[in-house]
Amino acid sequence: MVLETERLILRPWEEADAEECYKYAKDPQIGPIAGWPVHTSVENSRQVIRDFLMVPETYAIVLKETGLPIGSIGLHHNDLAEKDDEAELGYWLGVPYWGRGLVPEAARELLRHAFEELKLARIWCGYYEGNDKSKRVQEKLGFKYQWTTEDAPVPQMSETRKGHVNLMTREDWKILITLYEPSLEDLWFRQVMMADPETMSYNHAWGGTIPFPKEEWHDWYDFWIVNHENRRYYRYLKDNSGRFIGEIAYHYDSNRNLYVADVIVHSPYRGKGYGGTGLELLCSVAKKNGIKVLYDDIATDNPAITMFLNHGFIEEYRTSEIIMLKKEI
Ligand SMILES: CC(C)(COP(=O)(O)OP(=O)(O)OC[C@H]1O[C@@H](n2cnc3c(N)ncnc32)[C@H](O)[C@@H]1OP(=O)(O)O)[C@@H](O)C(=O)NCCC(=O)NCCS
């Protein structure tokens, strides 16, 4: 089986990869933190490839740009994932390639393969205490924390360590969404959404649908995406099949001296939990960008209030027309 992403090919390991494998796996920053010993020679890497990597559902992460393997990713059965419809996700990447989002990119495709083609129901993923980069990868992928064990086995190193366990179920995966920075041409979707009476019914007090003709796109794009001045943030929400399903945004309101959130899910995609997930994503981006409190003023009759309350927003005050919601993030 060969899988493909924008920048990567995921294909089975071969003995001929030993040299490239050794180049990265000899680095002590990779194996030990993940629970396996540093490779000691090309021959040792060849042995590991034969014994551990040339197995079903383990893939060499090959960079399209060079055609060479730079890491490994796979689905395994073990004591965490012993049932037939479960697997544990494991991965490592050569140090020179860290920080480019390559493992999350590979993992998203492998998760798609696991849930859609292998019909698995649950994917586990763990990391040992202190492995913050791997923890971050799992957070970004949408895994949910389950439990921590003081003495998780590290079989290949004959020891135990504190380990944290995360899980993604097929149900979680189905409603998983990612943030996407639209290109100028992608603004057709915003135009469609703004023109849809059902999507925009929440805005009825202010006129409902909003025209967003092509002539306005350039200025809008410049304001929200190009020259955001760290005061504005705008992304599309994209589902697993790459469809645009809505938008999230925040902006600084200088009159009131606060940051205002915005989440819109296109009407055909409502009622699936996308709004709440979008709101969580927005809060986590805002937090990362140094924002402490997010607000939203929402019409008193807007049913989306429940969604905000379910995700930690509280009512600050209300008028006859709006409720001011607030969350410390
Ligand atoms: C964990 C690992 C696979 C991450 O792969 P990656 O493709 O670099 O993942 P990302 O680019 O998404 O980076 C993840 C986080 O690492 C940190 N990071 C980013 N660039 C980095 C760099 N150049 N150097 C060190 N850390 C970096 C950041 O916190 C980043 O999160 P962010 O995107 O929110 O900023 C890689 O670090 C690795 O191989 N580690 C050793 C093996 C291992 O731990 N495997 C998992 C066992 S559970």
Mutational pocket test of ligand 1: of 24, 133, 287, the residue with most ligand atoms within 8 Å of the beta carbon: 133
| 100 CB near ligand 1 (under 6 Å) | yes
pLDDT at 216 over 90: yes
d(C-alpha 1, C-alpha 10), whole Å: 8
| 92 CB near ligand 1 (under 6 Å) | yes
| 3 CB near ligand 1 (under 6 Å) | no
Q: How confident is the model at residue 202 (pLDDT cuts 50, 70, 90)?
A: confident
Average pLDDT for residues 41-59, to the nearest whole number?
98
Closest CA to 102 of 140, 130, 76, 75: 140
d(C-alpha 11, C-alpha 14), whole Å: 9
CB 257 within 8 A of CB 237: no
- Spatial CB neighbours of 118, under 8 Å, sequence gap ≥ 6: 57, 75, 87
Average pLDDT for residues 288-316, to the nearest whole number?
93
Closest ligand 1 atom, residue 30 Cα: 41
Q: How confident is the prediction for the chain on average, in pLDDT?
A: 95
Average pLDDT for residues 187-216, to the nearest whole number?
93
Average pLDDT for residues 250-258, to the nearest whole number?
96
pLDDT at 272: 87
- What is the pTM assigned to this prediction? 0.79
Decide which of 203 and 35 is more confident: 35
Q: How far does residue 173's CA lie from ligand 1's centre (Å)?
A: 22
Closest CA to 201 of 246, 267, 263: 267
Closest CA to 277 of 181, 175, 180: 175
Closest ligand 1 atom, residue 288 Cα: 34
pLDDT at 74: 98
Q: How far does residue 93's CA lie from ligand 1's centre (Å)?
A: 8
For the sheet containing 8-11, what is the strand order? 3-4, 8-11, 58-63, 68-76, 86-93, 122-128, 159-169, 144-154
pLDDT at 205 over 80: no
How far lies 68's CA from each of 63, 72, 108, in Å? 6, 12, 20
Q: How far does residue 206's CA lie from ligand 1's centre (Å)?
A: 45
pLDDT at 65: 97
Model confidence pLDDT, tens digit, residues 66-96: 999 999 999 999 888 989 999 999 999 999 9
Of all protein residues, the one whose alpha carbon is nearest to atom 16 of ligand 1 is: 133
| 134 CB near ligand 1 (under 6 Å) | yes
Q: How far does residue 108's CA lie from ligand 1's centre (Å)?
A: 15
pLDDT at 72: 98
Q: How many CB atoms lie within 10 A of CB 16?
A: 11
Closest ligand 1 atom, residue 126 Cα: 48
| 74 CB near ligand 1 (under 6 Å) | no
| 199 CB near ligand 1 (under 6 Å) | no
Model confidence pLDDT, tens digit, residues 130-182: 999 999 999 989 999 999 999 999 999 999 999 999 999 999 998 888 899 99
| 165 CB near ligand 1 (under 6 Å) | no
Model confidence pLDDT, tens digit, residues 16-41: 999 999 999 999 999 999 999 999 99
Closest ligand 1 atom, residue 35 Cα: 47
Question: Residue 319, exposed/middle/buried by CB under 10 A (0-12, 13-18, 19+)?
Answer: exposed
Q: How far does residue 302's CA lie from ligand 1's centre (Å)?
A: 41
